[in-house]
């Protein structure tokens, strides 16, 4: 097998594991299912990864990188702090599938393994820090009141997104997610100058 095929196989293994973890959780993601979804043989999978745990870690790291990259697309754009945060909250999302990273926090196997939890913690840490920076910018520009705590407000923004997914999945429809985002946006606009 040439280098290109190797890279492509590793790529398919990681992508398939990302999807399976999202859909079925760690315990429901068998090496056989990964191999079938990736169209890779057992030997090929174990040639590239020591086992399911190592592959899961690579998949979770990839999901974390994609999550922060997608957030950055909205947050780095033009506009006031509120506009950028609203754009981030309102970008198209597959609401009923939930957040790839957020759902892992309910997965007992992922939470019990420090190596699997670390990339989840890092991804949310990065997004909260980025949101806090933007809110601090908004304070400096006089957009937000001096008393607003950037770190706490950033945590509320990230929590509304993650909780919005939970409420939407419970209801079986997008509506509660949209409502929660709308409620937070109105509060943010309400305290803005």
Contact set with a second copy (CB under 8 A) = 23-25, 27-28, 98, 101-108, 111, 117, 120-121, 123-125, 128, 145, 147-149, 151-167, 169-172, 176-177, 179-184, 186-188, 190-191
Q: Rounded distance, CA 85 to CA 81, Å? A: 6
Nearer to a second copy, 9 or 153 (CB): 153
CB atoms within 10 A of CB 109: 16
Q: Which residues, 6+ apart, have CB-to-CB distance to 102 below 8 Å?
A: 162, 165, 166
57 by DSSP, 3-state: which? helix
Nearer to a second copy, 78 or 186 (CB): 186
Angle between helices 114-140 and 150-171 (to 10 degrees): 120
Nearer to a second copy, 40 or 158 (CB): 158
CB of 134 to a second copy, least distance (A): 14
CB of 189 to a second copy, least distance (A): 9
CB of 17 to a second copy, least distance (A): 16
CB atoms within 10 A of CB 151: 13
Nearer to a second copy, 70 or 166 (CB): 166
Nearer to a second copy, 26 or 49 (CB): 26
CA dihedral (162, 165, 171, 173) in degrees, to 10, reads 150
CB of 143 to a second copy, least distance (A): 13
Nearest C-alpha neighbor of 121 from the set 74, 165, 61? 61
CB of 89 to a second copy, least distance (A): 11
CB of 179 to a second copy, least distance (A): 4
Residue 133 CB-half CA count within 13 A: 9
Nearer to a second copy, 44 or 150 (CB): 150
């Amino acid at each position: 097998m040439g280098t290109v095929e190797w890279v492509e196989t590793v790529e398919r293994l990681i992508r398939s594991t990302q999807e399976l973890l999202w859909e079925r959780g760690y315990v429901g993601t068998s090496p056989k299912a990964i191999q079938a979804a990736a169209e890779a043989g057992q030997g090929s999978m174990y040639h590239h990864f020591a086992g399911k745990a190592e592959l899961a870690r690579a998949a979770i790291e990839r999901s974390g990188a994609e999550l922060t990259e997608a957030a950055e697309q909205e947050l780095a754009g033009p506009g006031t702090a509120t506009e950028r945060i609203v754009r981030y909250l309102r970008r198209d999302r597959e609401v009923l599938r939930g957040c790839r990273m957020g759902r892992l926090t309910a997965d007992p196997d992922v939470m019990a393994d420090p190596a699997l939890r670390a990339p989840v913690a890092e991804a949310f840490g990065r997004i909260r820090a980025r949101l806090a920076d933007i809110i601090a910018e908004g304070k400096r520009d006089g957009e937000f009141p001096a008393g607003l705590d950037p770190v706490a407000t950033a945590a509320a923004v990230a929590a509304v997104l993650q909780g919005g997914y939970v409420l939407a999945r419970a209801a079986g429809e997008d509506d509660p997610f949209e409502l929660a985002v709308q409620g937070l946006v109105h509060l943010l606009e309400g305290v803005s100058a």
